[in-house]
Chain A
Amino acid sequence: MIDTTAAPSTTPVAPVKRRIPAWANGILWTLASIVLLTVTADLTGLANITATATIQAGLQLAVPLLLAGLGGLWAERAGVVNIGLEGMMILGTWGSAWAGYQWGPWAAVAGGIVFGALGGLLHAVATVTFGVNHIVSGVAINLLGAGVAKYLSTLLFTSVSHNPRQSPKVPGFDTYSAQPLADWLGDLEKQQRYVVSDIAGILHGLLSGVSPLTMITILLVPVSYLLLWRTRFGLRLRSCGENPVAAESLGVNVYRQKYLAVIVSGGFAGLGGAALVLAPGQNGYLENQTNGRGYIGLAAMIFGNWRPGGLLGGAALFGYADGLQTLTDGKTVLGLFYGVALLIWVIALVQLIRRKWIVGLIAVLAGGALYLLYLSIDSLPSELTTYLPHIVTIVVLAMSAQRLRMPAADGLIYRRGQGS
């Protein structure tokens, strides 16, 4: 009655891969970046690549991106896509300037957080309670945030600053340096010694003239990790981003978790706004000052594969690129291409050793193309260097979108009782 016609094939067992722990990975990447920058600076003769000023500017510019990215991380780990970070950041800049010019820098920090969190609350009401599409709500909040900030600025700043688009001066934080190490590194950098001076420049940039807000921000990365991955609260929050139906069936109040996550997310974005207001040389609210940084922060988070460590890397990369292009010229930025070409060739070598011929070959060619570009033009047009982070984002997404892993229920609308 049953005639066997063919034998079933057997399934091969996937080999178990050993993984490097995340912290070691982070240290490796940091070291690799320092080496790459140093080598590039020396081989191209462009000392600015590792100059203290460049690194400091990069760190400065990375802070708001990092905060926006952390905001994105919190919201998206709970399953809410937050494209409204930009609007929340704008609200944060206004709130921060308003509180800051009256009561000082710490008030500016608090004001930024509160206003950003209000924006987050609005996003939560729309997406969680009313089930509005997350992108739509985010776009609306960006429009609204810009409008509210403009209105309030006209209303409350004009009489003091005599300019509806600008706040009165907000006192900034004092900055700190790790003395005497910083001075020693500074001296070392000035000696222009091969390799040593470059490394000293990078470290000097990271260890001197740091504001408390920068330190807090960097600290917030491990804090976010511990909260989200090592506590009961974080487990519940992440479960809402992975499978809210399951979470609810286990008694997790999904709406509450999402509300909290999105409000915290807004608070981070607002703090990012405060970081802009308090940045040296800025010291106040200025219309359009965020200039799309909320979006770049979101891109940094995606770049970091929805993980705090990766997001730190993304923000550092974008901040550095921004710092380099603000302080230097198209020629120095072009020098980076040389560095990237080197990096790609190293990756190619690794792939070839692993016998991944096709990937390796493509990497060799891509590195070659970049190198040729570096050789064939003198300087990048200044009009385009401003948009380096944007271009990098697109290139990175195009290359690695399939390897990125966002929370399984990210962006999906969840209704209470959906599982029953």
Chain B
Amino acid sequence: MTTATDLGNPAVVLTGITKRFPGVVANDDIRLTVRAGEVHALCGENGAGKSTLMKILYGMQQPDEGTIEVDGAEVRFRTPADAIKAGIGMVHQHFMLADNLTVQENVVLGAEALHGIGGRARARIQELAGQTGLRVDPGVLVEQLGVADRQRVEILKVLYRGARIIILDEPTAVLVPQEVDELFDTLRGMREQGFTFLFISHKLDEVRAIADSITVIRRGTTVGTVDPTSVTTRQLAEMMVGSELPSPETRESTVTDRAVLTVAGLHLSDDTGRAVLDEIDLAVHAGEIVGIAGVEGNGQTELVEAIMGIRKADGGSVLLVGADDAIVDLTKLSTLHRREAGIGYIPEDRHRHGLLLTQSLWFNRILGFQTRKPVVNGRWLDVEGARKDTRRIVEQFDVRTPGIEVPAAALSGGNQQKLIVGRELSGDPVLVIASHPTRGVDVGAQALIWEQIKQARAAGLAVLLVSADLDELIGLSDTIKVMLRGRLVADADPATVTPEELGSAMTGASTGGEEEA
């Protein structure tokens, strides 16, 4: 695997970059050469060290070892301001925009010295927008913009400061495919004008579509740089994860005809009266994993929270068949009663919804089970019981921790997630709702979580799986449903469907049904 381009001179050269955090080596002897005027992709799994590397290049963190060269000269960035001066800009994955300020205010903030904050700044923004095709009205409040427009504002911010080398951190994660295409067109146009891009992603197809060269990093170190035209997606994937590709695939079907969860006509409106869930009908059977595919923000979060009773649906019904075959009508019940009826819930944001970060592991074990044995006894907590059962989870789910008295915040993301999965599979649930169960966890934890979900399914558990990871969805699910603008618009058979087909269904490209509405 060699460097495969002969474009321009090196714009950025990273040599021997090493960064250690307590207990973890995030970057280990990373080497990377980006040539001027190319789109250089940086690929790697979650936790492989991409973000740390980019933060180092952008001056947000300092490397313990190694050197950075920009345009041939060695540089040392103490703050992002240093990097900006050297012509480097970064577009963060989570947008750094103030909603209640206008586009113009967001763009000029921190760079007021260039063209002031008034008319001249406005003219400059419009000039840049005209040059690059990143058209946004400078006068509107950012809160009124959609995701793609916000991203344009982010790129404008960087250009306004005179950046020629632009780091894009997972820029497509929040975009629908049409928007991705538009973004790529813009990037290609800007490349013609001499801009250099460092494109961070783990979406290999996209990377192959846009990049001039690809560098893969794994476990904090560079695996190699390749020419996208000469490798397949499969080869790239293997470089990313090492020799053995962890496969989420479930073997034989364990689906029964006993419908555990039956959702009928579920409807939910937001504050403005717009339907975010519309006529949702859904059944999950014992031993079945039903996957929900969809671009984020199409109602998956709302669906899960409506089934959990966290949001109150304004129409439709939710029925659950308990372990004793009794039908429980959940529609009017509280979250707690739904949990007691036998639902386990793995939330999408473990820090906000899954854990009490400063509390001990055993205290966290009680959350969601505060009415059930073995962690409580009537109105009283059973502290010993909670401790004992937490030890069981730690052992059974391989939660790497020095003890159960440490605060949950002290664990790594993967171990926190294993604790949550262990907790939610406790107490013999009949249904588990798993939202992005392996998001942001390491490969080891991912494999373990998949394995545990598969085992529970084989034992007759019904699972509703929401995920943005199409491979995970296709690999684990028995049935896939596609969600678009608050509706379930299509069914797919995971045995035959490809990620590409799913992708187009998620964006409404293949349904051809928009006219019917």
Q: Are B100's CB and A8's CB within 8 A? A: no
* Neighbouring B residues of A405 by C-beta, 8 Å: 100
Identify which of B92, B100, B514, B517 gathers the most chain A CB atoms within 10 Å of its CB.
B100
A10 at the interface (CB under 8 A from B): yes
Q: In the complex, A276→B94 CA distance in Å?
A: 48
Also in contact, A5 and B514, with CB within 8 A (given A232-B112, A247-B109): no
* Segment at the B interface, from A204-212, A249-257, A284-292: A249-257
Residue of B nearest to A306 (CB): B100
Residue of A nearest to B502 (CB): A2
Q: Are B99's CB and A3's CB within 8 A? A: no
* Neighbouring A residues of B496 by C-beta, 8 Å: 1
* Neighbouring A residues of B157 by C-beta, 8 Å: 250
Task: Out of B96, B279, B487, B517, name the residue touching A249 (CB < 8 Å).
Answer: B96
Q: Are B488's CB and A242's CB within 8 A? A: no
Among A378-420, those with CB < 8 Å from B are 405, 407-408, 417, 419-420
A11 at the interface (CB under 8 A from B): yes
Q: Are A407's CB and B61's CB within 8 A? A: no
Q: In the complex, A157→B493 CA distance in Å?
A: 86
A158 at the interface (CB under 8 A from B): no
Q: Are B514's CB and A8's CB within 8 A? A: yes
Task: Out of A8, A10, A231, A238, name the residue touching B101 (CB < 8 Å).
Answer: A238
Q: How many residues belonging to A are interface residues under a CB distance threshold of 8 Å?
A: 35
A239 at the interface (CB under 8 A from B): yes
Question: Interface code B479-490, partner A: CB below 8 Å = 1, 0 otherwise?
Answer: 000101111111
* Segment at the A interface, from B79-87, B359-367, B389-397: B79-87
* Neighbouring A residues of B491 by C-beta, 8 Å: 2-3, 5
* Shortest distance from the beta carbon of B477 to any chain A beta carbon, whole Å: 14
* Neighbouring B residues of A232 by C-beta, 8 Å: 112-113, 116-117
Q: Are B100's CB and A407's CB within 8 A? A: yes
A7 at the interface (CB under 8 A from B): yes
* Shortest distance from the beta carbon of B49 to any chain A beta carbon, whole Å: 15
Among B235-288, those with CB < 8 Å from A are 272, 274-275, 278-279
Q: Are A243's CB and B497's CB within 8 A? A: no
* Neighbouring B residues of A247 by C-beta, 8 Å: 98, 109-110
* Neighbouring B residues of A6 by C-beta, 8 Å: 279, 487-489, 513
Also in contact, A250 and B110, with CB within 8 A (given A2-B490, A6-B513, A235-B105): yes
A9 at the interface (CB under 8 A from B): yes
A281 at the interface (CB under 8 A from B): no
A4 at the interface (CB under 8 A from B): yes
B501 at the interface (CB under 8 A from A): yes
Q: Are A14's CB and B492's CB within 8 A? A: no
Residue of B nearest to A14 (CB): B272
Residue of B nearest to A409 (CB): B98
A12 at the interface (CB under 8 A from B): yes
Task: Out of B60, B100, B116, B490, name the residue touching A5 (CB < 8 Å).
Answer: B490
Task: Out of A242, A250, A407, name the residue touching B111 (CB < 8 Å).
Answer: A250
Q: Are B497's CB and A2's CB within 8 A? A: yes
Q: Are B513's CB and A7's CB within 8 A? A: yes
* Neighbouring B residues of A419 by C-beta, 8 Å: 60, 96
* Shortest distance from the beta carbon of A15 to any chain B beta carbon, whole Å: 12
Task: Out of A8, A10, A245, A250, name the residue touching B109 (CB < 8 Å).
Answer: A250
A236 at the interface (CB under 8 A from B): yes
* Shortest distance from the beta carbon of A415 to any chain B beta carbon, whole Å: 14
* Neighbouring B residues of A14 by C-beta, 8 Å: 272
B511 at the interface (CB under 8 A from A): yes
Task: Out of B96, B482, B501, name the residue touching A245 (CB < 8 Å).
Answer: B96
Residue of A nearest to B485 (CB): A8
Q: Are B278's CB and A9's CB within 8 A? A: yes
Q: Are B80's CB and A251's CB within 8 A? A: yes
Q: Are B112's CB and A251's CB within 8 A? A: no
Also in contact, A243 and B501, with CB within 8 A (given A8-B487, A250-B109, A251-B80): no
Q: Are A2's CB and B482's CB within 8 A? A: yes
* Shortest distance from the beta carbon of B446 to any chain A beta carbon, whole Å: 25
Q: In the complex, A3→B511 CA distance in Å?
A: 8
Q: Are A239's CB and B98's CB within 8 A? A: yes
Binding site for B on A (CB under 8 A): 1-12, 14, 230-232, 235-236, 238-239, 242-243, 245-247, 249-252, 405, 407-408, 417, 419-420
Please provide the 4 A-B residue pairs with the shortest distance between their CB atoms, ordered closest to farther. A250-B110, A246-B96, A242-B98, A232-B112
6 contacts across the A-B interface (CB closer than 8 A): A8-B517, A230-B117, A232-B116, A239-B98, A250-B157, A408-B98
